[in-house]
Amino acid sequence: MATGSLFKDEATEEKGERARMASFIGAMAIADLVKTTLGPKGMDKILQSTGRGHSVTVTNDGATILKSLHIDNPAAKVLVDISKVQDDEVGDGTTSVVVLAGELLREAEKLVNVKIHPMTIISGYRMAAECARNALLEKVVDNKLDAEKFKDDLMKIAMTTLSSKILSQDKEHFAKLAVDAVMRLKGSTNLESIQIIKKPGGSLTDSFLDEGFILDKKIGVGQPKRIENAKILVANTAMDTDKVKIYGARVRVDSMAKVAEIEVAEKEKMREKVQKIINHGINCFVNRQLIYNFPEELFADAGVLAIEHADFDGIERLGLVTGGEIASTFDNPESVKLGHCKLIEEIMIGEDKLIHFSGVAMGQACTIVLRGASPHMLDEAERSLHDALCVLSQTVNDSRVLFGGGWPEMVMAKAVDELARKTPGKRSHAIEAFSRALIAIPTTIADNAGLDSAELIAQLRAEHHKEGSTAGIDVISGSVGDMSELGISEAFKVKQAVLLSATEAAEMILRVDEIITCAPRRREDRM
């Protein structure tokens, strides 16, 4: 009897133990890959792209590493996905979430090997995650009402986040930059209004926060280089030959003379448009699109500073900063809101000329100028700073703060352990396993720092047996230290997101007992 195959060619099916093994191994491999980047003494990775030029990225950021990997294992894809979401949602903790999920699966594998049903493990994990979250909620500190202390908290959080990145040498400097930038946002999480400009050259400590706005553009030739009390019109309009937008319109002439006439008319039209713009009573005009030579000349004649081709974000930010509206029609000069600033001037950073707007009407936006030895360094610095900014802006909204350095994990592990002792049935094994997985994070931090993790964790555990302990791992001195004295803090929101997403992902992978892979779509061979 011939049993035809059920699936198409090349489609594969893995069942039961094998499927579970495949997903566990895949997930753990990913976790192990990023594990070494965890903590202040974590190492960086070099990523080389397969594209043209083989561009190189050096990074310590979990999300960036995982994003660039080509992965075939479906379970590993789940982990990559949670790391990406963590990046979008809170910005930091992208490595921790993957490591925790990996550890949860590692523990789960042991339990599955002693024949505990995955569903039992899942229900144990769920109870444990809930309990851990409550334990954290009990211990949070909220300093929202005390502005001074709150700022202090932010500073600590920024320093903690940055300490695992390339900026750790100058973390104080950058933490201050980040906190200042975020405080200017006044509670909004829109990081768009913080502009980061990277300029190679100088050293990292030369980076600075500018209260005004810096546009990476040049001022047109022959136009004033410095304007005081500037009135700015921010526009998005075509300043090349103004196209006729009516469909099907085309120019058809029968003689050279007519061409010349139309050319004149066109020029006239442009001149009119420029005149209309100038009639707004401005002395600075910023356009998103190109400004051709002819209008530029007209602007120069009128003594108006014209800046062309500021990209879309730049325009939006400029509109936000100067308080002007982005205009596309110029017929009603009286009702268009113009932007204002005290001074526009050309400044030099390194060898590049930039346009600097200072004394702007709205203080929300600001610019951070990063300086550094190489483009790679700057890229990494930008990512690190972005992480810090994300965390800070989230913390401004949800001001609950925890200590760092493995402290939250120990608190959670303790609570979860207690729960395990109280729970009857097989689930208690799973709950215990959850607590072991939590402890794996401080263990990894210690390992990465080259410390004796077994010894340190045991000490830490004993320390945490006392009520209200604030002990954590002090990586710098290599011992157990008081986190409140050392000023190491983390945002509650980040920790919570790590805990919940990691559990969710582990649960998802645990539930799987079969993997069906379709035949990969054939690429047409290049002729």
Partner 1 sequence: MALAFDEFGRPFIIIREQEQKSRLRGLDAQKTNISAGKAVARILRTSLGPKGMDKILQSPDGDVTITNDGATILEQMDVDNQIAKLMVELSRSQDYEIGDGTTGVVVMAGALLEQAEKLLERGIHPIRIAEGYELASRIAFEHLERISHKFEFDGTNIEDLIQTCMTTLSSKIVNRCKRSMAEIAVKAVLAVADLERKDVNLDLIKVEGKVGGKLEDTELIYGILVDKDMSHPQMPKQIEDAKIAILTCPFEPPKPKTKHKVDIDSVEKFQTLREQEQKYFDDMVKKCKDVGATLVICQWGFDDEANHLLMHRNLPAVRWVGGVELELIAIATGGRIVPRFQELTPEKLGKAGLVREKAFGTTKDRMIYIEHCANSRAVTIFIRGGNKMMIEETKRSLHDALCVARNLIRNNSIVYGGGSAEISCSLAVEAAADKYPGVEQYAIRAFADALDAIPMALAENSGLQPIETLSAVKSQQIKENNPCCGIDCNDVGTNDMREQNVFETLIGKQQQILLSTQVVKMILKIDDVISPSEY
CB of 446 to partner 1, least distance (A): 28
Rg for the chain (alpha carbons), in Å? 29
Closer residue to partner 1 in complex, CB, 20/106: 20
- Phi, then psi, of 72 in degrees rounded to 5: -110, -25
Closer residue to partner 1 in complex, CB, 73/459: 73
Q: Would you count residue 254 as binding partner 1 (CB under 8 A)? A: yes
Residue 452, both tokens:
């004796």
Cα(215)–Cα(217) distance, integer angstroms = 6
Subset of 264-293 contacting partner 1 (CB under 8 A):
264-266, 269
Piece of 144-152, 177-185, 245-253, 404-412 that binds partner 1 (CB under 8 A): 245-253
Burial tier of 186 (Cβ tally within 10 Å: 0-12, 13-18, 19+): exposed
Q: Is 95 a catalytic residue?
A: yes
CB of 4 to partner 1, least distance (A): 5
C-alpha closest to that of 485 among 407, 385, 396 = 407
Q: Is 103 helix (H, G, I), strand (E, B) or coil?
A: helix
Cα(515)–Cα(310) distance, integer angstroms = 50
Select which of 36, 37, 59, 61 is catalytic. 61
Closer residue to partner 1 in complex, CB, 253/458: 253
Subset of 307-336 contacting partner 1 (CB under 8 A):
316, 319-320, 325-329, 331-332, 335-336
C-alpha closest to that of 489 among 397, 392, 393 = 392
Angle between helices 94-113 and 74-89 (to 10 degrees): 140
Are the CB atoms for 469 and 484 separated by under 8 Å? no
Q: Is 387 a catalytic residue?
A: yes
Residue 90, both tokens:
């809170």
Please report which helix (H) or strand (E) contains residue 39, including its range.
none
Q: Where are the alpha helices (DSSP H) in 370-452?
A: 375-397, 407-422, 427-448
Are the CB atoms for 389 and 191 separated by under 8 Å? yes
C-alpha closest to that of 181 among 39, 370, 426 = 370
Residue 191, both tokens:
């990081």
Question: How big is the chain, counted in residues?
Answer: 527
Q: Would you count residue 25 as binding partner 1 (CB under 8 A)? A: no
Select which of 59, 94, 322, 367 is catalytic. 94
Q: Is 61 a catalytic residue?
A: yes
Q: Which of 149, 258, 350, 479 binds partner 1 (CB under 8 A)?
A: 258
Give the count of residues interacting with partner 1 (CB under 8 A): 88
Piece of 82-90, 164-172, 173-181, 430-438 that binds partner 1 (CB under 8 A): 82-90
Closer residue to partner 1 in complex, CB, 81/418: 81
The DSSP output letter for 337 is P
Piece of 27-35, 84-92, 157-165, 370-378 that binds partner 1 (CB under 8 A): 84-92
CB of 97 to partner 1, least distance (A): 9
Q: Is 159 helix (H, G, I), strand (E, B) or coil?
A: helix
Piece of 55-63, 189-197, 375-383, 430-438 that binds partner 1 (CB under 8 A): 189-197
CB of 8 to partner 1, least distance (A): 4
Q: Would you count residue 362 as binding partner 1 (CB under 8 A)? A: no
Subset of 3-22 contacting partner 1 (CB under 8 A):
3-9, 11, 13, 19
Subset of 370-409 contacting partner 1 (CB under 8 A):
390, 393-394
Residue 235, both tokens:
């526009």
Q: Would you count residue 513 as binding partner 1 (CB under 8 A)? A: yes
Q: Would you count residue 525 as binding partner 1 (CB under 8 A)? A: no
Neighbours of 418 (CB within 10 A): 14
Subset of 431-490 contacting partner 1 (CB under 8 A):
none
Q: Is 238 helix (H, G, I), strand (E, B) or coil?
A: coil
Subset of 101-140 contacting partner 1 (CB under 8 A):
117-119, 126
Q: Which of 27, 28, 38, 90 binds partner 1 (CB under 8 A)?
A: 90
Closer residue to partner 1 in complex, CB, 336/354: 336
Q: Would you count residue 205 as binding partner 1 (CB under 8 A)? A: no
Q: Is 189 a catalytic residue?
A: no
Residues in CB range of 287: below 8 A, 6 or more apart: 235, 236, 237, 239, 306, 307, 308, 309, 310
Q: Would you count residue 256 as binding partner 1 (CB under 8 A)? A: no
Closer residue to partner 1 in complex, CB, 377/505: 505
Q: Would you count residue 245 as binding partner 1 (CB under 8 A)? A: yes
Closer residue to partner 1 in complex, CB, 483/491: 491
User: Which residues are known catalytic residues?
Assistant: 61, 94-95, 387
